[in-house]
Amino acid sequence: MATTKRLRFHLSPSFFFLLLPLLLQFYSGMSELQFNYYAQSCPKAEEIIKQQVVQLYYKHGNTAVSWVRNLFHDCAVKSCDASLLLETVTGVASEQASERSFGMRNFKYVSTIKAALEAECPLKVSCADIVALSAREGIVMLGGPRIPIKTGRRDSRVSYLAEVEKFIPNHNDSIATALSVFNSIGIDDEGVVALYGAHSVGRVHCANLVHRLYPTVDPTLNPVYAEYLKGRCPTPDPDPDAVVYARNDRETPMILDNNYYKNIINHKGLLIVDQQLASDPRTTPFVQKMAADNSYFHEQFSRAIALLSENNPLTGDQGEVRKDCRYVNI
């Protein structure tokens, strides 16, 4: 009668030491974002970005607002992968060419930050992490909270120009559209209300708001405020290349605070979505709470920015680390 022999394998500890590098290599391709990702590869990376943001702020104050807007436009479209920074060349159609990118500026100063990093540790720090960390430091320069941001993003090799209008709400879009877009990337209604608090800083070009003034004034606008806006935007067809604009917040225009919510409660929102934020039953309670409590606004803004900054990043072996943020590596 046949017998079955059992084979026993005895694996020595040395076998596992031989296997360990292969396991680490496997998992490196599946890595996730983490705090202090550059602790070993470029220990001064985050401090260099901070120094550059501060220096640029004191030379060109509006750069701080640009860093925040860059985060919105990059991370909301598909992935936090610096696809926004790619310029139009053969085979690449830049997202900056989209109408949704109207008014965006200061991209050239991303190259300033990148150059400082490349001088310290070449091809280590991704442009996607520059977008995220410069936004964090820009928020601080604007009087906002310091937000813990994970790093380890990689850079996209492609642009998503055709996707921009799907993920970046238009200035004429409703709050329902805005909620749907941000909910689709994992940000709840409370977080969306907090993110719109970024409208506390910066400005809006007249081309994006004259439809609320001409031929008749939008009845949801505070009449006195409407007269101020007409003074800033005296014609119904402003030149899009002209520097004609209105501030989102006249009292503290370069401070990220809760005055934005106080303004929209008083019918002083610049855009349709601003005013609807204060009147839609899904968002009104959060608007009222943020208007009453700046700390609560900062807390929710921090939470929402962290979520946005972690939207579908490329990590591990995905993508690349660009040498020049404007172009894919050759």
Active site residues: 73
Residue 166 CA to residue 73 CA, distance in Å, equals 12
What residues pair up with 155 in beta bridges, in sequence order? 320
Query: Measuring CA to CA, which residue among 300, 313, 317, 302 is closest to residue 75?
Result: 313
Query: Measuring CA to CA, which residue among 187, 166, 153, 149 is closest to residue 95?
Result: 166
Residue 238 CA to residue 215 CA, distance in Å, equals 14
What residues pair up with 151 in beta bridges, in sequence order? 34
Judged by DSSP in three states, 327 sits in coil
Encoding tokens for residue 57?
A: 């702020």
Instruction: Tell me the angle at which helices 108-120 and 63-75 cross, rounded to the nearest 10 degrees.
Output: 90
What residues pair up with 89 in beta bridges, in sequence order? 92
Q: How many other CB atoms sit within 10 Å of the CB of residue 270?
A: 25
Residue 134 CA to residue 55 CA, distance in Å, equals 12
Judged by DSSP in three states, 240 sits in coil
H/E run at residue 228: helix 223-232
Encoding tokens for residue 227?
A: 């007269």
Q: How many other CB atoms sit within 10 Å of the CB of residue 59?
A: 10
Residue 82 CA to residue 70 CA, distance in Å, equals 9
H/E run at residue 146: none
Using an 8 Å Cβ cutoff, are 154 and 128 in contact?
A: yes
